[in-house]
Amino acid sequence: MGQGVHTKMIQVASRELRMPLSNVHLRGTSTETVPNANASGGSVVADLNGLAVKDACQTLLKRLEPIISKNPRGTWKDWAQAAFDESISLSATGYFRGYESNMNWETGEGHPFEYFVYGAACSEVEIDCLTGAHKNIRTDIVMDVGCSINPALDIGQIEGAFIQGMGLYTIEELNYSPQGVLYTRGPDQYKIPTICDIPTEFHVSFLPPSQDSNTLYSSKGLGESGIFLGCSVFFAIHDAVSAARQERGLRGPLKLNSPLTPEKIRMACEDKFTKMIPRDKPGSCVPWNIPI
């Protein structure tokens, strides 16, 4: 699924069983093995599955404690053979029911989540006032991820979420006909971020963990949480358009809607060319599209 969940689960098993990563093999999830698995959502996949893997490994270790204590210098192959000879089960099932919440939604009081993920982003852009195109020059992101299980994977999650959010706030525009038919239904009509939209300089860093928690090794789930940081590009473009307007003597409040497409940027950078475009009188025609 692109979340690195398999890698993290292998890391959990390796850590709990104290064996090399190369000795751990993972099979993809299936109703053939777990018929009632939780859905993947809310960036808690690593938490839910990881704590279940941890529970299974601890059950297995507790079962093998007598064998390991007799031969503490042995290998896992030795211990597994001894367990087989003594008819001790070498398989275990782990389960995690999820984090407990105590929330009264009617009064707005309580504790709805086990933890919160915090982050901040700062972006620098450059706009072309004649065409409305923009270039993402630099983005710096800092995230509070607790004790990261795999920093490389988590940085990738943050980068991917940011790019997805950047597309959401700048170029991914949905257009509907007045009858409600979606026009933007394919890559020839709907634009998503490409490699050219990635900031030339892209830096992601983590805050040091502030405290231990009841989560998986004090880590925090990532994925969806970084999407909103893409709005930093939107506000950077807004700031650039405001600067261009001030240079042309246009002052006062500026309202720009998301997604901030090149067409909207160009029209906001008012000049003698935009004044040449005729304006339709309200009610004089049927609009070809209804932007959402």
CB contact at 8 A, 290 and 178: yes
Q: How far lies 151's CA from each of 7, 8, 53, in Å?
A: 12, 11, 20
* Tokens standing for residue 110: 């309580």
User: Is 159 among the residues known to form the active site?
Assistant: no
Residue 176 one-letter amino acid: Y
Q: Residue 1 is encoded by which pair of tokens?
A: 């699924």
The amino acid occupying position 36 is N
With beta carbons less than 8 A apart as the criterion, state whether 230 and 162 touch: yes
Q: Is the C-alpha dihedral spanning 44, 49, 55, 58 positive or negative?
A: negative
Query: What is d(CA 236, CA 49) in angstroms, rounded to the nearest whole number?
Result: 38
Angle, helices 5-17/45-70, rounded to nearest 10 degrees: 20
In the sheet that holds 134-144, the strands lie side by side as 118-127, 134-144, 201-206
Tell me the β-bridge partners of 127: 134
Residue by residue, DSSP assigns 69-87 as HH-TT--HHHHHHHHHHTT
Active-site residue (options: 224, 247, 263, 270): 224
Which positions are annotated as active-site residues?
224
